[in-house]
Amino acid sequence: MKVHIIGIGLIGGSFALAIKLAFPEAEIYGSDADEENLQKAKELNIINHFSEPKDLQNADVVLIAVPVNAANKVISETLDLVGDETLVLDAGSTKSGLCKAITGHPKRRNFLAAHPIAGTEFSGPEAAIPNLFNNKTNIICEVEKTAFKLQERALEIFQRLGMRIRYMDPVSHDRHIAYVSHLSHISAFMLGKTVLDKEKNERDIFDLAGSGFASTVRLAKSSPAMWSPIFKENRENVLETLNEYINNLTHFKELIENEDFQEVYNEMERTNHIKSILNGIN
Protein backbone atom coordinates (compact mmCIF):
# COMPACT_ATOMS: atom_id res chain seq x y z
CA MET A 1 0.00 0.00 0.00
CA LYS A 2 1.39 3.39 -1.04
CA VAL A 3 0.40 6.09 1.46
CA HIS A 4 1.20 9.74 0.78
CA ILE A 5 1.05 12.31 3.55
CA ILE A 6 0.89 15.98 2.66
CA GLY A 7 1.75 18.02 5.73
CA ILE A 8 3.96 15.91 7.99
CA GLY A 9 3.43 17.56 11.39
CA LEU A 10 1.83 16.18 14.57
CA ILE A 11 -1.24 14.74 12.78
CA GLY A 12 0.40 13.65 9.53
CA GLY A 13 3.42 12.22 11.35
CA SER A 14 1.29 10.32 13.86
CA PHE A 15 -0.81 8.93 11.00
CA ALA A 16 2.38 7.74 9.28
CA LEU A 17 3.61 5.97 12.43
CA ALA A 18 0.21 4.38 13.08
CA ILE A 19 -0.10 3.17 9.47
CA LYS A 20 3.34 1.55 9.68
CA LEU A 21 2.26 -0.43 12.75
CA ALA A 22 -1.14 -1.42 11.36
CA PHE A 23 0.03 -2.12 7.78
CA PRO A 24 3.66 -3.29 8.02
CA GLU A 25 3.93 -3.54 4.23
CA ALA A 26 2.92 0.11 3.68
CA GLU A 27 5.32 2.52 1.99
CA ILE A 28 5.05 6.06 3.37
CA TYR A 29 5.67 9.08 1.13
CA GLY A 30 5.70 12.57 2.63
CA SER A 31 5.74 16.20 1.57
CA ASP A 32 5.57 19.46 3.51
CA ALA A 33 5.60 23.18 2.73
CA ASP A 34 8.34 23.48 5.35
CA GLU A 35 11.53 21.87 4.01
CA GLU A 36 13.01 21.55 7.52
CA ASN A 37 9.96 19.63 8.81
CA LEU A 38 10.18 17.32 5.82
CA GLN A 39 13.88 16.55 6.38
CA LYS A 40 13.21 15.93 10.08
CA ALA A 41 10.40 13.48 9.21
CA LYS A 42 12.80 11.58 6.96
CA GLU A 43 15.57 11.53 9.58
CA LEU A 44 13.11 10.29 12.20
CA ASN A 45 12.09 7.51 9.80
CA ILE A 46 8.50 8.69 9.90
CA ILE A 47 8.45 8.67 6.08
CA ASN A 48 10.29 6.34 3.70
CA HIS A 49 10.31 8.60 0.63
CA PHE A 50 9.65 12.16 -0.43
CA SER A 51 6.32 12.50 -2.23
CA GLU A 52 6.46 14.01 -5.73
CA PRO A 53 3.34 15.28 -7.57
CA LYS A 54 3.89 12.68 -10.33
CA ASP A 55 3.70 9.83 -7.75
CA LEU A 56 0.16 10.74 -6.69
CA GLN A 57 -1.27 9.00 -9.76
CA ASN A 58 -0.30 5.64 -8.22
CA ALA A 59 -1.06 6.40 -4.58
CA ASP A 60 -3.53 4.17 -2.70
CA VAL A 61 -4.16 6.71 0.06
CA VAL A 62 -3.34 10.40 0.39
CA LEU A 63 -3.79 12.09 3.77
CA ILE A 64 -3.84 15.87 3.70
CA ALA A 65 -2.99 17.32 7.12
CA VAL A 66 -2.31 21.01 6.55
CA PRO A 67 -3.71 24.10 8.33
CA VAL A 68 -7.34 24.72 7.35
CA ASN A 69 -6.55 27.93 5.46
CA ALA A 70 -4.41 25.91 3.02
CA ALA A 71 -6.61 22.81 2.91
CA ASN A 72 -9.14 23.74 0.20
CA LYS A 73 -6.43 24.55 -2.33
CA VAL A 74 -4.18 21.60 -1.47
CA ILE A 75 -7.06 19.10 -1.55
CA SER A 76 -8.35 20.42 -4.87
CA GLU A 77 -4.88 20.33 -6.47
CA THR A 78 -4.25 16.84 -5.09
CA LEU A 79 -7.52 15.53 -6.51
CA ASP A 80 -6.44 16.91 -9.91
CA LEU A 81 -3.40 14.62 -9.80
CA VAL A 82 -4.53 11.35 -8.19
CA GLY A 83 -5.59 8.18 -9.98
CA ASP A 84 -9.18 6.90 -10.22
CA GLU A 85 -8.54 4.39 -7.42
CA THR A 86 -6.83 6.80 -5.00
CA LEU A 87 -8.50 7.62 -1.66
CA VAL A 88 -7.87 11.21 -0.52
CA LEU A 89 -8.53 11.98 3.18
CA ASP A 90 -8.21 15.15 5.19
CA ALA A 91 -8.00 15.70 8.95
CA GLY A 92 -9.05 19.34 9.33
CA SER A 93 -10.92 20.89 12.27
CA THR A 94 -13.51 22.70 10.12
CA LYS A 95 -15.69 21.09 7.47
CA SER A 96 -18.42 23.39 6.06
CA GLY A 97 -16.27 25.63 3.88
CA LEU A 98 -14.20 22.70 2.63
CA CYS A 99 -17.18 20.51 1.72
CA LYS A 100 -18.74 23.42 -0.16
CA ALA A 101 -15.51 24.29 -1.99
CA ILE A 102 -14.88 20.72 -3.10
CA THR A 103 -18.43 19.81 -4.06
CA GLY A 104 -18.14 20.27 -7.82
CA HIS A 105 -14.68 18.74 -8.24
CA PRO A 106 -14.66 16.03 -10.96
CA LYS A 107 -12.87 13.70 -8.52
CA ARG A 108 -15.15 14.50 -5.54
CA ARG A 109 -15.86 10.76 -5.17
CA ASN A 110 -12.17 10.12 -4.43
CA PHE A 111 -12.36 12.36 -1.35
CA LEU A 112 -13.48 11.55 2.21
CA ALA A 113 -13.88 14.49 4.64
CA ALA A 114 -12.67 13.40 8.09
CA HIS A 115 -11.85 14.99 11.43
CA PRO A 116 -10.05 12.75 13.91
CA ILE A 117 -10.59 14.24 17.39
CA ALA A 118 -7.01 13.70 18.38
CA GLY A 119 -4.08 15.92 19.07
CA THR A 120 -1.79 17.33 21.69
CA GLU A 121 -0.68 20.87 22.41
CA PHE A 122 2.57 20.17 20.52
CA SER A 123 3.29 20.40 16.79
CA GLY A 124 5.75 19.27 14.14
CA PRO A 125 6.94 15.75 13.17
CA GLU A 126 8.97 15.42 16.38
CA ALA A 127 5.67 15.53 18.30
CA ALA A 128 4.23 12.56 16.37
CA ILE A 129 3.12 9.56 18.44
CA PRO A 130 2.07 6.17 17.03
CA ASN A 131 -1.04 5.67 19.20
CA LEU A 132 -2.46 9.20 18.85
CA PHE A 133 -5.61 7.95 17.09
CA ASN A 134 -6.23 4.86 19.21
CA ASN A 135 -9.61 4.99 20.98
CA LYS A 136 -10.37 8.40 19.51
CA THR A 137 -13.46 9.55 17.62
CA ASN A 138 -13.25 10.26 13.89
CA ILE A 139 -16.02 12.42 12.45
CA ILE A 140 -16.83 11.76 8.81
CA CYS A 141 -18.86 14.28 6.80
CA GLU A 142 -20.87 13.70 3.59
CA VAL A 143 -19.90 10.03 3.45
CA GLU A 144 -22.43 9.46 0.67
CA LYS A 145 -20.34 11.61 -1.67
CA THR A 146 -17.37 9.22 -1.50
CA ALA A 147 -17.11 6.19 -3.80
CA PHE A 148 -18.27 3.09 -1.94
CA LYS A 149 -15.04 1.12 -2.53
CA LEU A 150 -12.98 4.02 -1.17
CA GLN A 151 -15.29 4.35 1.87
CA GLU A 152 -14.51 0.72 2.61
CA ARG A 153 -10.77 1.29 2.35
CA ALA A 154 -11.00 4.30 4.68
CA LEU A 155 -13.06 2.40 7.25
CA GLU A 156 -10.58 -0.47 7.28
CA ILE A 157 -7.75 1.96 7.96
CA PHE A 158 -9.67 3.77 10.75
CA GLN A 159 -10.65 0.44 12.29
CA ARG A 160 -7.07 -0.87 12.33
CA LEU A 161 -6.02 2.43 13.92
CA GLY A 162 -8.59 1.85 16.70
CA MET A 163 -10.92 4.76 15.93
CA ARG A 164 -14.68 5.14 16.58
CA ILE A 165 -16.62 6.57 13.62
CA ARG A 166 -19.35 9.23 13.86
CA TYR A 167 -21.18 10.50 10.78
CA MET A 168 -22.31 14.12 10.76
CA ASP A 169 -23.23 16.84 8.28
CA PRO A 170 -20.56 19.54 7.94
CA VAL A 171 -22.72 22.39 9.27
CA SER A 172 -23.54 20.50 12.50
CA HIS A 173 -19.91 19.43 12.79
CA ASP A 174 -18.67 23.03 12.75
CA ARG A 175 -21.31 24.19 15.24
CA HIS A 176 -20.70 21.44 17.80
CA ILE A 177 -16.94 21.41 17.48
CA ALA A 178 -16.87 25.16 18.23
CA TYR A 179 -18.26 24.27 21.67
CA VAL A 180 -16.31 21.14 22.54
CA SER A 181 -12.98 22.12 21.00
CA HIS A 182 -12.52 25.66 19.66
CA LEU A 183 -13.87 27.42 22.76
CA SER A 184 -11.57 25.42 25.07
CA HIS A 185 -8.58 26.75 23.16
CA ILE A 186 -9.65 30.39 23.47
CA SER A 187 -10.50 29.88 27.15
CA ALA A 188 -7.01 28.49 27.78
CA PHE A 189 -5.17 31.11 25.70
CA MET A 190 -6.93 33.99 27.48
CA LEU A 191 -6.38 32.40 30.91
CA GLY A 192 -2.68 32.17 30.09
CA LYS A 193 -2.63 35.78 28.88
CA THR A 194 -4.44 37.07 31.98
CA VAL A 195 -1.97 35.43 34.33
CA LEU A 196 1.11 36.31 32.27
CA ASP A 197 0.07 39.98 32.00
CA LYS A 198 -0.41 40.20 35.75
CA GLU A 199 2.62 38.28 36.81
CA LYS A 200 5.14 39.30 34.15
CA ASN A 201 7.41 40.98 36.67
CA GLU A 202 7.16 38.13 39.13
CA ARG A 203 8.14 35.03 37.25
CA ASP A 204 8.64 33.01 40.40
CA ILE A 205 4.92 33.36 41.11
CA PHE A 206 4.49 30.43 38.75
CA ASP A 207 6.13 28.35 41.47
CA LEU A 208 2.74 28.67 43.13
CA ALA A 209 0.85 27.22 40.19
CA GLY A 210 -0.32 23.66 40.70
CA SER A 211 -1.56 20.89 38.49
CA GLY A 212 -5.01 22.51 38.24
CA PHE A 213 -3.68 25.63 36.56
CA ALA A 214 -1.40 23.55 34.32
CA SER A 215 -4.34 21.45 33.16
CA THR A 216 -6.67 24.40 32.51
CA VAL A 217 -4.06 26.40 30.59
CA ARG A 218 -2.46 23.48 28.73
CA LEU A 219 -4.01 24.29 25.34
CA ALA A 220 -2.39 27.75 25.41
CA LYS A 221 0.75 25.97 24.22
CA SER A 222 -0.98 25.18 20.91
CA SER A 223 0.23 26.42 17.53
CA PRO A 224 -1.10 29.87 16.44
CA ALA A 225 -0.38 28.89 12.80
CA MET A 226 -2.90 26.07 13.14
CA TRP A 227 -5.49 27.84 15.32
CA SER A 228 -5.76 31.30 13.83
CA PRO A 229 -7.06 29.86 10.50
CA ILE A 230 -9.53 27.63 12.38
CA PHE A 231 -11.05 30.64 14.16
CA LYS A 232 -11.23 32.45 10.81
CA GLU A 233 -12.85 29.51 9.04
CA ASN A 234 -15.39 28.87 11.84
CA ARG A 235 -15.85 32.54 12.71
CA GLU A 236 -19.64 32.65 13.17
CA ASN A 237 -19.83 29.61 15.44
CA VAL A 238 -16.77 30.64 17.45
CA LEU A 239 -18.26 34.10 18.04
CA GLU A 240 -21.50 32.53 19.27
CA THR A 241 -19.70 30.28 21.77
CA LEU A 242 -17.50 33.15 22.93
CA ASN A 243 -20.53 35.37 23.51
CA GLU A 244 -22.18 32.72 25.64
CA TYR A 245 -18.97 32.01 27.57
CA ILE A 246 -18.45 35.72 28.31
CA ASN A 247 -22.11 36.07 29.38
CA ASN A 248 -21.77 33.13 31.76
CA LEU A 249 -18.56 34.53 33.26
CA THR A 250 -20.15 37.97 33.64
CA HIS A 251 -23.17 36.45 35.39
CA PHE A 252 -20.91 34.49 37.76
CA LYS A 253 -18.94 37.68 38.46
CA GLU A 254 -22.17 39.52 39.28
CA LEU A 255 -23.19 36.78 41.72
CA ILE A 256 -19.87 37.24 43.54
CA GLU A 257 -20.25 41.05 43.44
CA ASN A 258 -23.75 40.71 44.95
CA GLU A 259 -22.43 38.21 47.49
CA ASP A 260 -25.01 35.64 46.41
CA PHE A 261 -22.82 32.69 47.35
CA GLN A 262 -25.74 30.28 47.53
CA GLU A 263 -26.25 30.78 43.80
CA VAL A 264 -22.47 30.62 43.22
CA TYR A 265 -22.67 27.21 44.89
CA ASN A 266 -25.70 26.18 42.81
CA GLU A 267 -24.03 27.20 39.54
CA MET A 268 -21.02 25.02 40.32
CA GLU A 269 -23.14 22.12 41.52
CA ARG A 270 -25.22 22.14 38.33
CA THR A 271 -22.02 21.97 36.29
CA ASN A 272 -20.53 19.18 38.43
CA HIS A 273 -22.47 16.52 36.53
CA ILE A 274 -20.02 17.03 33.69
CA LYS A 275 -18.14 14.34 35.65
CA SER A 276 -20.42 11.61 34.35
CA ILE A 277 -20.27 12.96 30.80
CA LEU A 278 -16.49 13.13 30.70
CA ASN A 279 -16.03 9.55 31.84
CA GLY A 280 -13.97 7.75 29.29
CA ILE A 281 -12.23 10.81 27.85
CA ASN A 282 -8.56 10.98 28.72
Q: Which of residues 97-136 bind a copy of itself (CB under 8 A)?
A: 117-121, 136
Compute the distance between CA of residue 148 and CA of residue 168 in angstroms, rounded to an integer: 17
Q: Which is nearer to a copy of itself, 152 or 169 (CB)?
A: 169
Q: Which is nearer to a copy of itself, 88 or 238 (CB)?
A: 238
Q: Which is nearer to a copy of itself, 73 or 253 (CB)?
A: 253
Rule CB under 8 A: which of 158-197 touch a copy of itself? 164, 166, 176-177, 179-181, 183-197
Residues 6 or more apart whose CB falls under 8 angstroms from that of 223 comprise: 123
Among 48, 76, 137, 151, binds a copy of itself (CB under 8 A): 137
Rule CB under 8 A: which of 215-274 touch a copy of itself? 215-222, 224-225, 227-229, 231-232, 235, 238-239, 241-246, 248-250, 252-253, 256-257, 259, 261, 264-274
Compute the distance between CA of residue 87 and CA of residue 62 in angstroms, rounded to an integer: 6
Burial of 263 (C-beta count, 10 Å sphere; 0-12/13-18/19+): middle
Q: How far is the CB of 234 from a copy of itself (least distance, A)?
A: 10
Q: How far is the CB of 235 from a copy of itself (least distance, A)?
A: 6
Q: How far is the CB of 275 from a copy of itself (least distance, A)?
A: 5
For residue 11, state whether it binds a copy of itself (rule: CB under 8 A): no
Q: How far is the CB of 68 from a copy of itself (least distance, A)?
A: 12
For residue 199, state whether it binds a copy of itself (rule: CB under 8 A): yes
CA distances from 267 to 143, 149, 262 (A): 40, 50, 9
Q: How far is the CB of 170 from a copy of itself (least distance, A)?
A: 13
Q: How far is the CB of 78 from a copy of itself (least distance, A)?
A: 25
CA distances from 160 to 116, 131, 219, 239 (A): 14, 11, 28, 37
Compute the distance between CA of residue 279 and CA of residue 282 in angstroms, rounded to an integer: 8
